[in-house]
Amino acid sequence: MKRIALICLTLAMALPLLHAQEVHYGFRAGLNFSQLDGPVETDSDGNALEHWDLSSGFNVGALFTFRFVDRFGARTGLSFEQKGSR
């Protein structure tokens, strides 16, 4: 019980400090291009069984920056990136 009370008291004291911090939001978007290079498997006649093409995709995300003091902060975000080969 004492542990829970101490945690609640600590959180109650920290909430005003957390609210006073600067928070910045951002958005990020871009394109991805990938291509696999390497040895290609061939059949008995020497014809290529595989071929590698350029694969494209996109990425989007949201960024959050929390600034605590002038020279210290934290940045986090959530993003989706489309990767891979076809």
**Domain membership flag for residue 4:** no
Total domains, the chain: 1
Sheet hosting strand 55-69, strand order edge to edge: 22-34, 55-69, 72-81
pLDDT at position 15, please?
65
Decide if 71 is inside a domain. Answer: yes
Alpha carbon of 21 to those of 50, 63, 69, 77: distances in Å? 55, 16, 8, 17
Q: Which range of residues forms the domain containing residue 36?
A: 22-81
Q: Is residue 5 part of a domain?
A: no
> Is 46 contained in some domain?
yes
With respect to residue 59, please indicate whether it lies within any of the assigned structural domains. Answer: yes
Residue 17 lies in a domain: no
Which carries the bigger pLDDT value, residue 39 or residue 64? 64
Answer yes or no: is pLDDT of 69 > 80.
no
- pLDDT at 21 exceeding the cut of 70: no
Residue 31 is assigned to a structural domain of this protein? yes
